[in-house]
Amino acid sequence: AQKVTQAQTEISVVEKEDVTLDCVYETRDTTYYLFWYKQPPSGELVFLIRRNSFDEQNEISGRYSWNFQKSTSSFNFTITASQVVDSAVYFCALTDSNYQLIWGAGTKLIIKP
Amino acid sequence: GAGVSQSPSNKVTEKGKDVELRCDPISGHTALYWYRQSLGQGLEFLIYFQGNSAPDKSGLPSDRFSAERTGGSVSTLTIQRTQQEDSAVYLCASSLALRGDNYGYTFGSGTRLTVV
């Protein structure tokens, strides 16, 4: 069965610090897709990244970077030089052969000025 | 439309009443999902539709919940005899494919359902 675990319920850092959000997943499939979404206080879900299981290259997009490691079934998300606007709940999600996009419980990130 | 549209944005209903929630996906998106998000929680899968295939209803929590998708476009989620535990934000998402596309899954703003 699929499972996504985000062990960090809440993280609080001071602005400009780097912060890493952990995501560990479980699936029996060799083909699957992983996602990160941001949910700011306004409530909308903002897509950040989609990564397929055959692409283990790390990705960087501005201050955001993702580290995908199949050996540890992890897809961690790092924000460099955090800003107050990064404050949100961040979700990691997985879809495999049953197509039910399964979500982690989310990590609430608080960036203090 | 440019995005996924959900209506109503807010719904307050009395316990025992039926409610219908509507989702209008992005034109051309064949995959449509419904999720439920309770306060402070993650997203709970309810159902997905893909083209003309039979929907995957395995996430629906009880037989009071049903959904349909007409003409491969608009979808309606119906909750019969609402209970207080049904109170949540109901989110709809669409995509070009069941595994998402380069933009992931595009979500609507949700319908906040409150059962009193």
Please provide the average confidence, as pLDDT, over all residues in chain A: 94
Please provide the average confidence, as pLDDT, over all residues in chain B: 93
Question: Quick check: B93 pLDDT over 70?
Answer: yes
Separation between Cα atoms, residue B87 and residue B38, nearest integer Å: 7
What's the average model confidence in pLDDT over B15-36?
Answer: 95
> What is the per-residue pLDDT across B66-86, written as a single tens digit (0 to 9) for each?
999 988 799 999 999 999 999
% of chain A with per-residue pLDDT over 90:
82
Separation between Cα atoms, residue A87 and residue A17, nearest integer Å: 13
Task: Provide the pLDDT for residue B1.
Answer: 54
Q: Does B96 touch chain A (CB under 8 A)?
A: no
Among the partner residues B42, B89, B104, nearest to A35 by beta-carbon distance: B104
Residue A81 DSSP code: S
pLDDT band at B32 (very low <50, low <70, confident <90, very high): very high
**B70/A7: higher pLDDT:** A7
What's the average model confidence in pLDDT over A2-11?
Answer: 95
**A101/A109: higher pLDDT:** A109
Separation between Cα atoms, residue B105 and residue B31, nearest integer Å: 9
Chain B residues with CB under 8 Å of A47 CB are 103-106
